[in-house]
Amino acid sequence: MARRPLPRILSSGGASITRSREIARTAADNATDVLHPLITVTRGLRLLAAAGRQKWAATPRDRRGHVLFLVAACVLVVALIPYGPLLALIAVMGAAAWRGRERTPARTGPDEAETARLRALYEALVPHFSTADDPGPLFSRGGDWEEAFGTSYAFDADGRLTRLQVHYPAYFTDGEPDCRARVEQVLHAKSGRGREYHFAWDEESNHLLMTVLAALPTTIAAQRFVTAPGETVLGFTDADAVQRTVPVRDGDVTRDASPVIWRTGSRSTEPHLLAVGHPGSGTTTLMRSLALQALQYGDVLVVEGGGTGEYGFLTGRDGVLAVECGLAGALSTLEWAAHETERRLIAANRARQSGHPEPEDIKRPLWILLDRPSVFGHLAAADGRQDPQELLEVPLRHGRAAGVTVVVADQFDSLDTLTEAVRTRTRARAVLGPATREEAESVLGASPHTTPTPDVPPGRGYARLGTGPVLRLQVPVTPDPYDGATSEAHREAVLDLLPGGPAPATPVESGAAEPKRLDALVTAPAVAEG
């Protein structure tokens, strides 16, 4: 059957309708432009009226009479002054125009680029948070990312995520470190590298909160910190990680910072410290900072295996018993430290048995600082002599009761050379410099909840005291004041903390058989040794 042509009015009706719509839309736009001031003033009058009604409703009933009298008086004054009603009308119209102006609408959701980033992040998490037999998966290919992320996200000015809360299924094995690490690696890669992220797992609510951490300040130099005897500042961490703050000088200003406090002495559960890092990570800076703080209340023995003279500025200072850089001096110094620990134990035991207070010569804390003892181990093995680390057995085992604190610093490639006593007795740990998650976990005993960054300044790392949480750490700037690259401000900051006594202009290497000024502590050896 042949198809009949449509009537003319029906075939040309679509074009006429389209043309009529365009004419109507153009007329509406022109009318809106012409009447825009009137629309703005009308909207403002409506808003002013609503504000007036709210103000009247909020006014107590016993004060409404006073308000009406005040309004009537104002209207009477305006009506009596010349041009008063006209000025009042102009003022009301101006206020209405200002109140009814068009404002930029508040942003209520992510833009297209941020939505695409959230979508990509959702798709990347699907293999980790989904199973094939889940009838109602929270994560699925092409699923709804808003159900998994909700509105708990934030972006910075560059459009990169700074905060994200992920709701994951209850069957996800969030108690296994490997599963957590895979999810954290995906979030780190998709959210942008070069930043440090913190991951907080809430197993009870099945939530994972990822936040971007701000860089710890590197401008806090060595200074006298406000601490009690037996407290030492390892460095500074995030404000929400600890509950204590101390005032510090940060450049030219004084502010409160959150310190990592290490408590030593007879009541400490972590009396000894092990610091590990790669070359240039800042372990020597940490040792210098600890030495300057220890000299305020105690005596210090320094044994340096690197032989670079990083501690030469301490030689001859009050409270510094010895600074040894040679194998012979290190052996004699540590042997004396072992005997001194035994002497203190005997003296304290006899004083307690006789009901007398402890002698004064054992109350002053003794600090033993060993920087890179693994070097001495190689030298001792080649020379057929005793490893200096073996002499640390007594100070490490009985140091807490005798008031002796041992601090050991070495590098990752020398961890296998540390003795069993050093590895088991040093319950306070610090990892400085760029380190992988596996390296940090091998030293700290727990994995950090943050992603390590490839480029970190010296003295940046993690610290863990005993079985406590892993904290981010930034060691105070404590350079060698005799180094030519040290700035004048940092040099003066270190020198101001040194106690009195002569100081040589250059580092002095000591290889003597007996450490200098060791008799400062041994005032009554006959009584102590019996």
Q: What is the pLDDT of residues 47-95, one digit of tens each?
A: 888 888 888 888 888 888 888 888 888 888 888 888 878 888 888 888 8
Going by C-alpha positions, the residue among 215, 121, 137 that lies closest to residue 172 is 137
The single residue listed with the structure tokens 């490893």 is 387
CB 491 within 8 A of CB 498: no
pLDDT at position 175, please?
87
pLDDT at position 27, please?
65
C-beta atoms surrounding 178 within 10 Å: 7
C-beta atoms surrounding 172 within 10 Å: 20
Going by C-alpha positions, the residue among 136, 156, 157 that lies closest to residue 147 is 136
pLDDT at position 30, please?
66
What dihedral angle (degrees, nearest 10) is formed by the CA atoms of 233, 235, 238, 241? Answer: -40
Q: What is the 3-state secondary structure (H, E, C) of 184-231?
A: HHHHHHHHCCCCEEEEEEECCCCEEEEEEECCCCCCEECCCCCCCCCE
Going by C-alpha positions, the residue among 379, 382, 376, 374 that lies closest to residue 422 is 374
Residue 311 Cα distances to 316, 483, 491, angstroms = 11, 11, 14
**CA-based angle 215:219:224, to the nearest 5?**
125
pLDDT at position 109, please?
63
Six-digit token string for 429: 């740990």
Query: Which segments of the chain have a pLDDT < 70?
Result: 1-21, 24, 27-35, 102-109, 501-530
Q: Report how far residue 295's alpha carbon sits from residue 277's, in angstroms, rounded to the nearest whole number.
A: 25
pLDDT at position 513, please?
37
Residue 208 Cα distances to 153, 175, 195, 240, 265, angstroms = 12, 12, 18, 18, 39
Q: Report how far residue 335's alpha carbon sits from residue 333's, in angstroms, rounded to the nearest whole number.
A: 5
CB 471 within 8 A of CB 462: yes
Q: Report how far residue 395's alpha carbon sits from residue 368's, in angstroms, rounded to the nearest whole number.
A: 9
Residue 166 Cα distances to 115, 237, 482, angstroms = 15, 26, 52
Own/partner pairs, 118-122, CB within 8 angstroms, 24+ separation: 118/145, 118/149, 118/153, 119/145, 120/190, 121/145, 121/161, 121/164, 121/187, 121/190, 121/191, 122/148, 122/149
CB 146 within 8 A of CB 134: no
Q: Report how far residue 287's alpha carbon sits from residue 298's, in angstroms, rounded to the nearest whole number.
A: 15
Q: Report how far residue 336's alpha carbon sits from residue 525's, in angstroms, rounded to the nearest whole number.
A: 13
Q: Report how far residue 127's alpha carbon sits from residue 526's, in angstroms, rounded to the nearest whole number.
A: 73
pLDDT at position 55, please?
82
Q: What is the amino acid identity at position 302?
A: V
- Decide: helix, strand or coil at residue 461: strand
